[in-house]
Amino acid sequence: MANPTPKGLDDVFMSVVAENIVSYLALTDLIALQASCRSLRGAVQSRLDYRFNINICLKDFIEDPTSFRCELGKADALIIRGSALNFLENQHGQFKQLDLLVEAGRKADALINYLCVEESYFTLLEPSQALQLHGRAPAQSERTITLGRVSSKEIHVTATTSFPVHALLETCSMTAELNFVTWNKVYSLFPAATLARHKTYPLRELDDDFGIRLAEFAHQGWTTRDMLWLRLAAQKPCGIGSRRVGDAYSVSIAVTPHIDAADTTPDFVIEHAAFDVLVGEPSVAKSKRRSAPQIKCSEMSIYVRKLESLALRHHFTVGQSNSGSWSNFANERLERWTKIELLKIPRRTRGFDVHGFSIPTGSTFWRPKSWDYADDQLPTWYKNFQEVRIEEEEYSCGKAHTSW
């Protein structure tokens, strides 16, 4: 068996130089370099693997990161706010607390119980002290529980009445908040502004809750000079219009080390949480499901709502329901899917006629074990939707050109 050819001094020198160069690059630059320079891909990937080692981020808070990440996945919980942003910016030393977002109820209880039993945390605030409402939607409330331990480290667990991605999108104050970490990936929804330029755009009107968030970020190097107002900014943000988590305007990177976790939600679910980034004059978004209107920021805002259907097992979100929207595209297919599944149930069992009947959307409707869910079809449908939209845009441009 031939001995492997040893590396020459020039190869070693270039490897060291490459490692040194990439160590100074921002995340967005690393990703661009990896895509454009084949000779540096190895050095870039090595840097990314080290930089996104989540165990380094968690070491000051968690004794067993692997077990904790499994619990994070089971609870569909997210690492959010300054914790996620500093992880993306590679500033591990600035972590003062670990912020988690989880749906209230069974999942929140299980996660808190794990942290108390397995990681020796205890509740610092009484429940009566910990009850606080945040966000701008009356139907959306949060309860933050502060956990501490002898090492003086704290974990803030925010239990929300909605599922985490929906809650984060609906209550965020600015674009710099739209970064989060799941059990196996890290996401940034506005990386061009947040990571490449260290800038943030407001997504709601200024109020006391907004001020609290600004104060938190100020401790992590985000100052008033980093706030950009859409009408005054020289450079407009990327990613206006219909969006989804994990789209071309987002950054999505697998964290290391890789682990296998059971009973976790597939990545495509969170990566097809859709929303709209709106720009324009002050507006009031009315919803039948809310007891009060949702006030939008006068310059830029996020519009998001739940995608509800009996055909879905997991939680998804959509943006506005207007002509040609992803919301209408998906709902039309989900309604047909639901009718087919309902027809498989004997009429005597389901108790109503499917044809001409308003299809129920609530999760309280009983579905048999044989019920076929459509979750895995959402990525395919979304791809089809994008293709249809591109074709329509090309047709419109061609038609306009012909008439000209």
Does 93 lie in the same domain as 35?
Answer: no
Cα 323 from Cα 326, distance rounded (Å) = 9
What SS3 class is residue 244?
Answer: strand
Domain that holds residue 309: 304-397
The answer to whether 379 and 268 have CB atoms below 8 angstroms apart is yes
Model confidence at 90, pLDDT cuts 50, 70, 90, reads: confident
Does 106 lie in the same domain as 15?
Answer: no
Cis peptide, bond prior to residue 257, ω within 30 of zero: yes
Helix (H) or strand (E) holding 144: strand 142-148
Does 120 lie in the same domain as 147?
Answer: yes
Q: How many domains does the chain have?
A: 3
Give the domain-ending residue among 195, 227, 257: 257
Does 108 lie in the same domain as 230?
Answer: yes
What SS3 class is residue 155?
Answer: strand
Does 227 lie in the same domain as 164?
Answer: yes
Q: Is the pLDDT of residue 118 over 90?
A: yes
Tens digit of each residue's pLDDT (9 = 90 or more) over 193-204: 999 899 999 998
Q: Is the pLDDT of residue 5 over 60?
A: no
| Residue 159 bridge partners (DSSP) | 102, 143
Does 61 lie in the same domain as 26?
Answer: no
Does 186 lie in the same domain as 47?
Answer: no
The answer to whether 97 and 79 have CB atoms below 8 angstroms apart is no
In the chain, what is the straight-line distance between the N-terminal and C-terminal CA atoms, in Å? 71
Which residue type occupies 231? R
Does 69 lie in the same domain as 218?
Answer: yes
pLDDT of residue 48: 74
Does 65 lie in the same domain as 45?
Answer: no
User: Which of 248, 249, 236 has the alpha carbon at shortest distance from 300?
Assistant: 236
pLDDT > 90: what percent of the chain?
52
Q: Compute the average pLDDT of residues 317-335.
A: 93
Q: Is the pLDDT of residue 359 over 50?
A: yes
Is 161 within a domain?
yes
Q: Compute the average pLDDT of residues 91-103.
A: 81
Is 277 within a domain?
no
Does 349 lie in the same domain as 312?
Answer: yes
Does 59 lie in the same domain as 121?
Answer: yes
The count of other CB atoms within 10 Å of the CB of residue 269 is 22
Which residue type occupies 104? A
Q: Compute the average pLDDT of residues 104-116.
A: 96
Does 229 lie in the same domain as 113?
Answer: yes
pLDDT of residue 393: 74
Cα 240 from Cα 56, distance rounded (Å) = 34
Place of tokens 């501490």: 148
